[in-house]
Structure 1
Amino acid sequence: MHRKLTVRDLRTGNRARVLRALYFDEPRSRQELAGSTGLSQASVSNVVGELISEGVVVEAGQVDSDGGRPRVLLRVNPAHTAVVGVDVGETHVLVEVFDLTLRRRAEATFPMEPDAHSIDEVAARVLDGLDRCLRDSGARDVLGVGIGVPGFVERGLVYAQTVGWHGVALERMLRAGTDLPLFLDNGANTLGQAEVWFGAGRGTGDAVVALIGSGVGASVIADGVLYRGSSGGAGEWGHTTVALDGRPCRCGARGCLEAYIGAYGVVERYRAVRPDVPVEQEAALAALVADGSAAARGVLAETACYAGLGVANLINLFNPARVIVGGWAGLLLGARILDDVRAEASRHALHRSFEQASITLCELGPESVALGAATLPVADFLAGGGVRRTAPSRVG
């Protein structure tokens, strides 16, 4: 049985429509907001008056109108509150503080050993970074903390098989050090939301955003909505099988895509033909991309082959308008092999689906997981029409 909508529900819905319109397409006048939201001029004026009185929206100058009085332009107030984004990656923990419109104000990075992921150490570094960044930014009012993690989140517990986490209570551990609202989600999902909001996925409702770092994942957006699966575990693209009884993967299986295109696997193959490469993973991958030797070209060609196969599988499964490749390793490799990836994908994907899909690189840079994580509390704020939650929240 459907719950009957109340006046409060309608008011929240109206506020959310106006606030989202301003957030993603500012500045706008009241008249333009009425046209884009479908609300009456009176409703828009009432909502705008409330949002201005609360400090969520501010005036942003005037624009001449056709024969009438100048129209006042409006925008979301960046200084209304701060928001935090955290990337719990395999090579680092990155904490960033943003204003409400997601302009960066402070950041702190803590290197991590790729094979050592003590949950106690990760939690301590997140809390340390949070304290440091809030102090450096001078932020006194914080909307919430979004956290992108490896694996997936189910009821606040993190399941990341490749780093040895099974039902890790990261949210509870962080709760011991902060009372700010916490929003946890898979890092590929946060990257995907950032690209759909501000980057290469903007303007499309059907996209797959592939994150290639030490590991590999994907965010699947269908009709504008992130597809999560039954328990939040959808999008584990890196653990689809591309070679029967193939190379061993860190998850314990064999032949996973991650073993062929993730930085961990690519660098391992490079070391097999060139033992003197740097120890640090990102430096080793950069050396591979810059290496013009036949051995290095062979490693890159094999990587492009499997990446193209993986992208073709995404195209055949989800029929996206765009496949967007990101992550620090994806961007580093993509600068060199993206054309080869496209060519290989064309050989494996269904012809019509391939013709309809563009394959491109992320636009927001290698550190956009933290930016995407910051969108989690912002999305909650927008959906609530600018009203904050009074209790901690989680996504997964």
Structure 2
Amino acid sequence: MVGRNRRTVRDLRRANRAAVLQRLYFDGPLSRFELGPATGLSSGSISNVVADLLADGVLEEAGNVDSDGGRPRTLLRVAPGSGHMIGVDVGETRVRVELFDLALTELARAERALGPEGYEVEVVVEHIRDAVAEVLAAADLAPDLLLGVGIGVPGIVEHAAGRGAVVHGQTVGWDAVALESLLRERCELPASVPYFIDNGARTLGQAEMWFGAGRGARSAIVVLFGSGVGACVVTPEAEEGRAVEAGHLTVRVGGRRCRCGAPGCLEAYAGAEALLERWREAGGQPPRDADQESALAALVAAAEDDAVARGLLAETAEYIGAGLSDLINLFRPERILIGGWAGLRLGPALLPAVRRHAVAYALRHPAERVTIDLGGLGTDAVTVGAAILPLADFFAHGGRRAEPVPEEPQPAWRAALEDRTPR
């Protein structure tokens, strides 16, 4: 009997292909000679894997480099045109959709503003459908060439048998929304194109860890500040990151009512929506009919001359620092990165005070070992991170599309048992 953890030849071949692809993706172009030490594979394995990947069109030659007295060595790189991904950011004020090639070069983008109806599910699904069709048409790309569609959403994402990704977005009124099923019904994409749906903070974290200010860290927390607040925690035990609802850490007992319904959440003080409401309550006057981004910019500008706005931002920095201190004590990260459109807008003004308060509220040992900085990828990071989800899956399968797993009919005894279960 074959042991449960026994790896097959096919598994080893896929792992070797994945190792070569990832090394070339992050550090290429490289020669076959350089790939051996970089991946730990033998020269024979490198030759076989490279030959396969070249034949599949996933790799391409990228010129030559002189060797020490021998023949020039051919450089290899991942072929940018060998795959395409779509990244979707379901944000607070708009739905942003971008089409990328395998090198994550943007080929087309489309945006749809969210109007007064806000996060109404049908509207969001229509926006995604229309924007996906628009970017494919703009790039003249056949839909079946997509490796997948990655989508960052607010809330908790679970995967249910027969329904795919289900979103629990309490703060935006989404109660067990079967988003993947809805998209499959409405979007005109082939059934072979997979959807990868995850929390927007995790897609932000994925982007920062791959290409941004988190690269090289073994543990990091990437915090997304927008209308709300979320975070992605990356640890040696969870290298791909996991979303945590950092916005709903309690920073004040009996405090302001959060959008989630609970009192005293960090989001009720540091989320852009709540922060602007606090400014109005304090007598501030955001520009009339301005969107959240413009109003927040006005608040930051007003703080230069207005004591009320300045005091409000100082208080907000302390709340953010207190919230980050909880994350420091719980996870002891090497780095904390602040991102999201509101985080990047507030960060330059608040970062010194945030650092000071985070250290004051946290335990000394982990606080002395963490750095707190801004994310490095700008406001498109969620969309880029969403596109990385199908890209990472492509790499994990050794540069081949994942084959759908056929659903096996359930045993008769299980069907009979379910029929007897009270609904």
Q: TM-score, normalised by structure 1?
A: 0.95
Indicate yes or no: 2:366 matched with 1:364.
no
Aligned to 1:143: 147
Is the partner of 2:378 in helix, strand or coil?
coil
Aligned to 2:65: 63
User: Any conservation in 1 of the 2:206–2:241 contact (CA below 8 Å)?
Assistant: no
Higher relative contact order (CA 8 A, sep 6+): 1
Is the partner of 1:377 in helix, strand or coil?
helix
CA distance in 2, matches of 1:127, 1:252: 31
Is the partner of 1:74 in helix, strand or coil?
strand
The amino acid that maps onto 1:350 is: L
Indicate yes or no: 2:318 matched with 1:305.
yes
CA distance in 2, matches of 1:54, 1:271: 59
The counterpart of 1:159, out of the listed 159, 168, 175, is: 168
Aligned to 1:231: none
Instruction: Give the Å deviation of 1:269.
Output: 1.1
The counterpart of 1:51, out of the listed 53, 56, 78, is: 53
CA distance in 2, matches of 1:325, 1:213: 11
The counterpart of 2:264, out of the listed 239, 255, 262, is: 255
Indicate yes or no: 2:224 matched with 1:214.
no
The counterpart of 1:287, out of the listed 298, 320, 329, is: 298
Aligned to 1:387: 400
User: Any conservation in 2 of the 1:199–1:364 contact (CA below 8 Å)?
Assistant: yes
Q: Per-residue CA shift, 1:62-98, capped at 9, x if unaligned?
A: 1111111111111100011211000011111000000
User: Any conservation in 2 of the 1:188–1:217 contact (CA below 8 Å)?
Assistant: yes
User: Any conservation in 1 of the 2:61–2:77 contact (CA below 8 Å)?
Assistant: yes
The counterpart of 1:275, out of the listed 278, 285, 294, is: 285
Q: Per-residue CA shift, 1:134-178, capped at 9, x if unaligned?
A: 111222221110000000211110000000111101100100122
CA distance in 2, matches of 1:92, 1:369: 13
Aligned to 1:80: 82
Aligned to 2:417: none
Aligned to 2:129: 127
- 1:18-57 aligned at under 5 Å gives the runs 18-57=20-59
Instruction: Give the Å deviation of 1:391.
Output: 2.9
User: Any conservation in 2 of the 1:90–1:114 contact (CA below 8 Å)?
Assistant: no
Instruction: Give the Å deviation of 1:310.
Output: 1.0
- 1:217-228 aligned at under 5 Å gives the runs 217-223=230-236, 225-228=239-242
Q: Structure 1 276/221 Cα, relative in aligned 2: closer, same or farther at 3 Å?
A: closer
CA distance in 2, matches of 1:392, 1:294: 61
Identity %: 53
The counterpart of 2:388, out of the listed 349, 352, 375, is: 375
The counterpart of 1:107, out of the listed 106, 109, 126, is: 109
Instruction: Give the Å deviation of 1:392.
Output: 8.8
CA distance in 2, matches of 1:74, 1:9: 24
User: Any conservation in 2 of the 1:85–1:374 contact (CA below 8 Å)?
Assistant: yes
Residue correspondences, number: 388
| RMSD (Å) for aligned C-alpha atoms | 1.5
Worse overlay, 204-213 or 268-277 = 268-277
The amino acid that maps onto 2:239 is: V
CA distance in 1, matches of 2:83, 2:373: 34
The amino acid that maps onto 2:297 is: A
The amino acid that maps onto 2:12 is: L
Is the partner of 1:356 in helix, strand or coil?
coil
Is the partner of 2:368 in helix, strand or coil?
helix
Is the partner of 2:137 in helix, strand or coil?
helix
Q: TM-score, normalised by structure 2?
A: 0.89
Q: Structure 1 260/392 Cα, relative in aligned 2: closer, same or farther at 3 Å?
A: farther
Is the partner of 2:402 in helix, strand or coil?
coil
User: Any conservation in 2 of the 1:190–1:369 contact (CA below 8 Å)?
Assistant: yes
Instruction: Give the Å deviation of 1:4.
Output: 2.2
Is the partner of 1:305 in helix, strand or coil?
helix
The amino acid that maps onto 1:105 is: L
The counterpart of 2:252, out of the listed 212, 234, 243, is: 243
User: Any conservation in 2 of the 1:219–1:226 contact (CA below 8 Å)?
Assistant: no
Q: Structure 1 263/276 Cα, relative in aligned 2: closer, same or farther at 3 Å?
A: closer
Instruction: Give the Å deviation of 1:226.
Output: 3.6
CA distance in 2, matches of 1:289, 1:276: 11
CA distance in 2, matches of 1:186, 1:114: 23
Q: Per-residue CA shift, 1:312-340, capped at 9, x if unaligned?
A: 11111100000000000000000111111
Instruction: Give the Å deviation of 1:390.
Output: 3.0
Q: Structure 1 48/96 Cα, relative in aligned 2: closer, same or farther at 3 Å?
A: same
CA distance in 2, matches of 1:138, 1:198: 27
User: Any conservation in 1 of the 2:286–2:295 contact (CA below 8 Å)?
Assistant: no
User: Any conservation in 2 of the 1:79–1:99 contact (CA below 8 Å)?
Assistant: yes
CA distance in 2, matches of 1:55, 1:289: 50
CA distance in 2, matches of 1:226, 1:49: 29
Is the partner of 2:379 in helix, strand or coil?
coil
The amino acid that maps onto 1:198 is: F
Q: Structure 1 114/34 Cα, relative in aligned 2: closer, same or farther at 3 Å?
A: farther
Aligned to 2:412: none
